[in-house]
Structure 1
Amino acid sequence: MVGSFGHICESIENLSQDYLQPDQKKNSLLNPRAPIYASGISLMLADHDLVNHKLYNCPNHWCVTDVPNLLCPNCKGKMKCGTTYVSPSAENTVEGGFVKGLITYIVMDNLEFMPVSANNFITLLNKLNVKDVSALEETVVDFGVEEGLKLLKLSLECKTVLTSFYLGNVP
């Protein structure tokens, strides 16, 4: 895999299911699938309005389509009952994301990550041959979409993503 992106995938594979939200599975991160509605949307249309997107369902079965009057695969009746599409948002999500909250992670320069635990921390110190723990610094960062896109780009280009991002040491 190019750059450091593969380290993210390896870290997800190694992450225990105990760290994920109860309704999340690693496979949805490692093998993402486009939402069903994405197949009918041109990638060039950035302002496509899914909030007002019309959906139709069979009155007898749990079948849904975005094309009115298609035949239900179960009963062959017309799928013409209008239904409302509820788009995921911060307002209607109880606890978003894939990982459980209040868990701290160590992220290395190559984007490999692991939950902070005494065992992981000591193993990492030994692996990196750190002799003086007082020389270490903790850095907590917040970033938005623009910074996320820059990190994604760097993850595909280099092995020292965080150094390049924060110190401008782009390869």
Structure 2
Amino acid sequence: MATSSPNSSPTTVSLKLMIDPKSNRLLFAEAGKDFVDFLFYTMSLPVGTVISILSKQGTVGSIGNIYGSIQSFGDSIMLSAPKKDTLLKPMLLTNQPTSVAFLLPSMQSSKHNILYKCYSNSCKNVSFELKSRCPCGTYCMDQNLTFVNPTNKAAYSGDDCGFVKGGVHYMIMDDLAVKPMSATSIITLLNKFNIKDVSYLEEKIIAVGVKEGVELLRASMQSKTVLSAVFLGKKESSMKSEPTH
């Protein structure tokens, strides 16, 4: 469930961790629509946007050097400012309703958001490149079309917003595999971990905000024990990854 102050956008979502205290092992996390929507939303982010987010709070491996190289190249090397801008600040083609994207820092998209089509009224092809050759014939694509990303927040409210249905409890594995929660799935998981007595299991409620959202994004690219790494402070090298499929 998302929490917020009055008359403001949500600031955190709640995540319930189920932990085996004997082994200090995370069994699974229970989450609602808002957290699952956030996880699924990360799949829509361009690489340039992900690197921009993560590089502000630490290293991101060698791909960060590619990003830095593009930043350092001036007009004497880059073919055009729009080409550089679209690499460093790619256009986010997925709408960003606040209930999905608020767990990540604000992201600025490229200002060069003009699309081009050819002269033919019947052609449906578009391109970011001015005067590129249209596949439908011999025309150049030089007719301006402006990309519009809807900003009417009223259109993205409640259960119609995001990616998954509300009113469902979701089970999140340590490696971020997601499935609807059911008695069968819980029993199967407990049997896999050889849990005989559920009474001693520990519940830990986590408030997930922007800081945690960024760390989840980073850990998802480095670890198969993401929730443990972010919320329990466990390094993957000290843990045995459990298959979830």
Q: Give the TM bin, normalised by the shorter chain.
A: 0.5 to 0.7
Judged with a 3 Å threshold, the aligned counterparts in structure 2 of structure 1 residues 96 and 64 are, in CA distance, closer, same or farther, namely same
Matched, 1:102 2:162: no
1:72-92 deviations in Å (ceiling 9; x for gaps): 221323433322202366836
Q: What corresponds to 2:189 in structure 1?
A: 124
1:42-88 deviations in Å (ceiling 9; x for gaps): 337885534x5211223330011223343422132343332220236
Q: What corresponds to 2:135 in structure 1?
A: 73
Matched, 1:49 2:115: no
Judged with a 3 Å threshold, the aligned counterparts in structure 2 of structure 1 residues 89 and 119 are, in CA distance, closer, same or farther, namely farther
Unaligned runs of 5+ in 2: 1-36, 48-81, 91-106, 239-245
Q: What corresponds to 1:136 in structure 2?
A: 201
Q: Following the alignment from structure 1 to structure 2, what is the Cα–Cα distance between the partners of residues 122 and 71?
A: 58
Q: Following the alignment from structure 1 to structure 2, what is the Cα–Cα distance between the partners of residues 44 and 56?
A: 19
Over the matched positions of the two proteins, sequence identity in percent amounts to 36
Judged with a 3 Å threshold, the aligned counterparts in structure 2 of structure 1 residues 49 and 43 are, in CA distance, closer, same or farther, namely closer
Among 192, 199, 217, the alignment partner of 1:152 is 217
* SS of residue paired to 2:87: coil
Whichever structure has more strand as a proportion of its residues is 2
Task: Give the letter for the 1:53 counterpart.
Answer: N
Q: Following the alignment from structure 1 to structure 2, what is the Cα–Cα distance between the partners of residues 142 and 88?
A: 29
TM-score (structure 1 length as normaliser): 0.58
Q: CA deviation at 1:116?
A: 0.4
**Quick check: 2:170–2:181 contact (8 Å CA) kept in 1?**
yes
Q: What corresponds to 1:16 in structure 2?
A: none
What's the RMSD between the two structures over aligned residues? 3.9
Unaligned runs of 5+ in 1: 1-20
Aligned length: 140
TM-score (structure 2 length as normaliser): 0.43
1:131-166 deviations in Å (ceiling 9; x for gaps): 222333455544234312212333444554323322
